[in-house]
Amino acid sequence: MLFSIGIIGVLIRRNAIILFMCIELMLNSVNLLLVAFSKMHANGVAHANPSLASDAQVFVFFIMVVAAAEVSVGLAIIVMMYRNIHSVDINFLNRLKN
């Protein structure tokens, strides 16, 4: 049902800090899939154990937590990189190889 959004999120890897936004988009699509699947199987599971059906949504909550932490650190790295080389081109980082 819902996966097309997630797939579009995966489809996307091109520019500079747009990469970061694409990572956010992928995380969100996975969140959406988790919620959808939890609701899909909620009927069967909820009778056996009501708290089991909420697990996926708790996972989504933790994914959001980790994403927020990751974005803060990643943007700090990007700002530092921009301060040093005055560009956000990821091709510049090829220089790290040598």
Partner 1 sequence: MGITTIVFFILSAIAVMSAIMMVVSKSPVHSVLWLIAVFFTISGHYILMNAQFLAIVNIIVYAGAIMVLFLFVVMLMNLNVESEPMKNYRIQLAGVVAGGSLMLVLLSALMKTDKLMVQLKDGDVGLIRQLGRVLFNDYLIPFELSSVLFLSAMIGAVVISKRDK
Binding region for partner 1 (CB under 8 A): 1-18, 20-22, 24-25, 28, 31-32, 35-36, 38-43, 46, 50-51, 53-55, 57-58, 60-62, 64-73, 75-80, 82-84, 87-91
- With a CB cutoff of 8 Å and minimum separation 6, the contacts of 82 are 88
Q: How far is the CB of 66 from partner 1 (least distance, A)?
A: 7
Helix (H, G, I), strand (E, B) or coil at 61: helix
Q: Which is nearer to partner 1, 14 or 97 (CB)?
A: 14
Report, in Å, the least distance between residue 98 CB and partner 1: 21
Separation between Cα atoms, residue 25 and residue 75, nearest integer Å: 16
